[in-house]
Structure 1
Amino acid sequence: MRLRSRALTALLGRWPFSKGALSRSLCHRLFSCRGVTTGGPAPCPGGEDSVEVLGRLYPRDDYMNVTARILSKVGCNLHNQPHHPLWLLKERIKAHFYQAYAGRGSNPLFSVHDTLSPVVTVEQNFDSLLVPPGHTSRKQGDNYYLNRRHMLRAHTSAHQRDLVRSGLDAFLVAGDVYRRDEIDATHYPVFHQMEGVRLFSKHELFASVKDGEELCLFESGGQRTHDKQESHTLEAVKLVEFSLKQTLTRLIRHLFGEDLEIRWVDCYFPFTHPSFEMEVNFRGSWMEVLGCGVMEQQLVHSAGVDNKMGWAFGLGLERLAMVLYSIPDIRLFWSQDERFLKQFRLGHIDDPVTFQPLSKYPPLINDISFWLPTEGYAENDFYDLVRTVGGDLVEKVSLVDQFTHPK
């Protein structure tokens, strides 16, 4: 089969080439890049038998599909760079939780973990979250594997069980996550998530309920329904759900404004039930901003906690920051252009800011045709090749048409 793909190259910053020179240069690099094929990634740090990530070597095997360009992003930690827009948003969320929720002695109830390594085991990333073997989310085409045992985390939830096992009842996790994805203004193979977990004991959950001592978190012989898990009582689930939705409503209105219209949509996640997505009516249209739900009790039990239940949520920092700060393209978060970075050096993290465009150069379009191998091809293989050659100048790749030879 032959595919014809269209690559739109956007000049997101200053670029010294003329339009014709850039077109010729990009085409030459795409079609003369011998040795870079969809059958394997570009050379990575380490040796032939290993790959180095954050100073540690991991043995290569047939599952290794991380490119050198992706590895160059590991350790950048944009969410921890002061005055970066992702840092601003993370700090706003953290400050809200510190101010709104206090534990004993007025200490913050939620601890924050934003320096955890993005290299996790496959067991942490999937099994600990009850993602079954063979589930579509485990595909090589969608994830970056260092080998069959280790990978770059696809979500910050990969740390959830370990943090609960360490004895934490309330925490926030922020970090970079990695997924092989399409190329356009809203997708990037590296992005950042922030996640929250809150566990309740019987006393904590029912403390403000009349005759709460007579209620229970769990029941035996229960049935799983649309509203609850088999081990939970309906009373406990409704209180946990109320706490979850109230907490997130306060957070999002703190970020967007108190008059924000919010609605909840039922959905499915392997690690929560019931599960919800929050949508907000922002500037006249509904937008999904986060996912959440009541934690699967099997997950809580696997972390060594038998007498508590709780909720969890996760949100994408880029997604919110693009809306809050009017940033039109996700690749701009990786810009080192001082014209971009200085816009977010604010006196206070809650000061309003609206991104101002950097470049007025027109986009360039290139059509590329190529033959596919008979098997073993995934669209994300081509996207990784484009990123390796064209970098962040390539704004969008779209399939224009396809042809199958009759023979």
Structure 2
Amino acid sequence: MFRNSILRLSSSIQPYGTKSRLVTIVCQRSFYSTQNSGIEFKENSIQVNDTAYHRDDWTNVTPTVLSKLERKLHLQPRNPIGIIRQLIEDHFNDFATFNNVSPIVTTQQNFDDLLIPKDHPSRTKSDNYYFNKDTVLRAHTSAHQLQGLASGANKFLISGDVYRRDEIDSSHYPVFHQIEGLAYFGGQDEDQVAAIQADLEKAKPIPANIEIVDDTVIHAGNPKQDRHSQVVMTPLVAHLKHSINSMICHLFADEPNLKVRWIEAYFPFTSPSYEVEIFYQGEWLEVLGCGVVQQTLLDKGNRHDAVGWAFGMGLERLAMVLFGIPDIRLFWSQDNRFIDQFTPGQINKFQAFSKYPPCIKDISFWLPPTEWHDNNFCESIRGVAGDLVENVKVIDDFVHPKTNRRSLCYRIMYRSMDRNVTNDEINEIQEKVRSTVEQEFGVELREKK
């Protein structure tokens, strides 16, 4: 969604992962064990707890990513992800909260309900984790939007783990976390305006330490929707902006000269739409996306007489900024030297406890004539090396002038966040990577062993 998004969900939704059992993951007759709940890869299905999902041509979910289902970092009170989630929920104290909902959703929920076209690139297998063509690990918490609108709460937050295939570096991981909020006001125009104004009159003023840069206006390039009157849109957008500005002030309370910038944006599910940036340590950083909810979405949720706004934001990016965390893999660390640095309800800077040396390996190969996706290559490496892989980047892209064959060379950086790794250990992993890539993608390795 906002790649930060919109969300929602119903109070009737059951939390996932309430049982803690040994997981045996079987994939192509290979057995993997984790300490998460029961997952089993069978020839024709994938079993997750008590539910079996049939396999088809779309199936690309991996044992590695499913092993993260039970971690739920956003619910761990001493993890920076959980601390920020709680601070935001505390700030929006009149919002209902939904934060323990299964990330396994239908493609209808993940795409169609959010007006994402059938041919949109965000639906591709190279960007998502599919159980089958109808079932996917959610790519955004917005997958629960209609359930939220059905919950009866007119203001609500949803947070959770989301899943996307991605590159490998210090700021990208296949599992990350989002929090989103939505508020709507029902009735006739005069009722909506009265409710919005009453909320604004109760709101605390924006602190003096914030400088707001905002020259956005509603116009043809970032329009109000046809069904919305200007008399309602003016206070509704003011309510949205005050809510977001006050939340940012709450999170950056210790920043002496905070600067916030509003810029126009486009999202298919809001109009008008905005992105919000903060000026932090000498550069502008995007914090979230937001806007006035498309009336079509409210109609789908049987809120035909309502208007509303929504925002969505990624928690990892914000936590890396606020806590000074240099590598996204650290959030998944169970090392007490990491966990014990943090206190619920407080933001304090991370103190590096060690920086272990990296081990760098290259792999080069001729590509097959089929389509190539970096995300699939990175996913394959993660499947072998897990969190020991820190960075993967292309260092050479060559097309042979006579054969027109294309060759790629990738540099893979291995490093553990909590221990030294040996050359022998990494050599063994690298050989498994080479073998896996050769078999899975049909490449021709250029350097033979």
TM-score (normalised: structure 2)? 0.73
Does the Cα contact within 8 Å between 1:205 and 1:239 map onto a contact in 2? no
Matched, 1:158 2:143: yes
Give distance in 2, aligned partners of 1:293 and 1:209.
15
* Aligned residue in 1 for 2:167: 182
* Aligned residue in 2 for 1:313: 311
Residues paired across the two proteins, number: 342
Unpaired stretches in structure 2, ≥5 consecutive residues: 1-27, 31-38, 198-218, 404-449
Question: For residues 297-321 of structure 1, what are the alpha-carbon distances to aligned partners after superposition, in whole Å with 9 as ceiling and x for unaligned?
Answer: 0000011111101001001111111
Match of 1:303, as an amino acid?
G
Does the Cα contact within 8 Å between 1:152 and 1:177 map onto a contact in 2? yes
Match of 2:192, as an amino acid?
L
Equivalent runs, 1:83-162 vs 2, <5 Å: 83-98=78-93, 109-162=94-147
* Aligned residue in 1 for 2:35: none
Aligned with 1:375: secondary structure?
coil
Aligned with 2:92: secondary structure?
helix
* Aligned residue in 1 for 2:193: 206
Cα deviation for residue 375 of structure 1 reads 0.8
Q: Alpha carbons of 1:337 and 1:156: their partners in 2 closer, same or farther (altered >3 Å)? A: same
Equivalent runs, 1:337-376 vs 2, <5 Å: 337-344=335-342, 346=343, 349-350=345-346, 352-376=347-371
Give distance in 2, aligned partners of 1:131 and 1:252.
29
* Aligned residue in 1 for 2:267: 269
Matched, 1:304 2:302: yes
Matched, 1:335 2:333: yes
* Aligned residue in 1 for 2:226: 230
Give distance in 2, aligned partners of 1:246 and 1:82.
28
Stretch of structure 1 that moved more, 87-96 or 201-210 = 201-210
Unpaired stretches in structure 1, ≥5 consecutive residues: 1-33, 37-43, 99-108, 211-222
Match of 1:315, as an amino acid?
M
Cα deviation for residue 134 of structure 1 reads 0.2
Cα deviation for residue 361 of structure 1 reads 2.1
Matched, 1:287 2:285: yes
Q: Alpha carbons of 1:332 and 1:206: their partners in 2 closer, same or farther (altered >3 Å)? A: same
Aligned partner of 1:246 among 232, 242, 253: 242
- Alpha-carbon RMSD across the aligned residues, in angstroms, is 2.1
Give distance in 1, aligned partners of 2:144 and 2:195.
31
Q: Alpha carbons of 1:317 and 1:204: their partners in 2 closer, same or farther (altered >3 Å)? A: farther
Question: For residues 119-162 of structure 1, what are the alpha-carbon distances to aligned partners after superposition, in whole Å with 9 as ceiling and x for unaligned?
Answer: 01101011111111101111111111110000000000110112
Q: Alpha carbons of 1:365 and 1:209: their partners in 2 closer, same or farther (altered >3 Å)? A: closer
Give distance in 2, aligned partners of 1:89 and 1:386.
31
* Aligned residue in 2 for 1:19: none
Aligned partner of 1:72 among 67, 75, 89: 67
Cα deviation for residue 35 of structure 1 reads 11
Question: For residues 324-344 of structure 1, what are the alpha-carbon distances to aligned partners after superposition, in whole Å with 9 as ceiling and x for unaligned?
Answer: 100001111011111111111
Question: For residues 335-384 of structure 1, what are the alpha-carbon distances to aligned partners after superposition, in whole Å with 9 as ceiling and x for unaligned?
Answer: 1111111111x2x513x411111323222221111222211431111101
Does the Cα contact within 8 Å between 1:198 and 1:311 map onto a contact in 2? yes
Q: Percent of counterpart pairs with the same letter?
A: 48
* Aligned residue in 2 for 1:197: 182
Aligned with 1:359: secondary structure?
coil
Q: Alpha carbons of 1:273 and 1:382: their partners in 2 closer, same or farther (altered >3 Å)? A: same
Aligned with 1:390: secondary structure?
helix
Give distance in 2, aligned partners of 1:340 and 1:208.
45
Q: Alpha carbons of 1:310 and 1:52: their partners in 2 closer, same or farther (altered >3 Å)? A: same
TM-score (normalised: structure 1)? 0.80
